[in-house]
Amino acid sequence: ETVSNLTLMALGSSAPEILLSVIEVCGHNFQAGDLGPSTIVGSAAFNMFIIIALCVYVVPDGETRRIKHLRVFFVTAAWSIFAYTWLYIILSVFSPGVVEVWESLLTFFFFPICVLFAWVADRRLLFYKYVYKRYRAGKQRG
């Protein structure tokens, strides 16, 4: 479930603007035009404001919802912060205003690593199994 949520749903929902950006970049001799970045920023703004607002609005009054997989949530939140930091670094520090091939390839390979970390967190494969049961969250007694 975690891997499918991070891969299929994310890529499926972002496929139109990714394809549009690729077509524009290829049509402008690998120079960014106005359409590609604007489409991506607009899609991100729509997802950030409208989709989250609708998710909050449809929960009935008096009912609360909780995050089911908190470990996976923390992993994806940490990777999101890292992604914005990395984007700033490659666009402002390493090569201002230009995305080099090694930067794009490294950025592309961060995604499978993020999915792997989320899967490991979902399966509790890191340190969690080595912690004694009495110290685990939710297993405390009286």
Identify whether residues 42 and 72 lie together within a single domain: no
Contact status, residue 129 vs residue 139, Cβ threshold 8 Å: no
Helices (H), 28-129: 35-46, 52-57, 70-88, 101-123
Q: Do 98 and 59 share a structural domain?
A: no
- To the question of pTM greater than 0.75 for the whole model, the response is no
Q: Tell me which residue of 111, 95, 112 sits closest to 103, measured CA to CA.
A: 95
What confidence score (pLDDT) does residue 82 get? Answer: 95
Residue whose C-alpha is closest to residue 76's, from 116, 109, 36, 105: 116
Quote the pLDDT of residue 85: 93
Q: In the prediction, which pLDDT does 133 show?
A: 60
User: Could you give the CA distance from residue 57 to residue 44 in angstroms, rounded to a whole number?
Assistant: 19
* Segment 61-97, tens digit of pLDDT: 888 888 887 888 899 899 989 998 998 999 899 988 7
Q: Among 46, 65, 84, identify where a domain stops.
A: 65
- Cβ–Cβ < 8 Å for 124, 71: yes
* SS3 call for 72: helix
Which pLDDT tens digit goes with each residue over 106-141?
Answer: 999 999 999 999 898 888 777 666 555 655 555 554
- CA–CA distance, 118 with 3 (Å, rounded to integer): 8
pLDDT greater at residue 103 or residue 66: 103
Query: Residue range 29-57: average pLDDT?
Result: 80
Last residue of a domain, one of 65, 96, 112: 65
Predicted confidence band of residue 38 (pLDDT cuts 50, 70, 90): confident
Kindly tell me if the per-residue pLDDT of 20 is higher than 50.
Answer: yes
- Domain containing 124: what range? 67-131
pLDDT of residue 5: 80
Shared domain for 56 and 82, answered yes or no, is: no
Could you give the number of structural domains in the chain? 2
Q: What is the DSSP letter of 126?
A: S
Residues 91, 113: one domain? Answer: yes
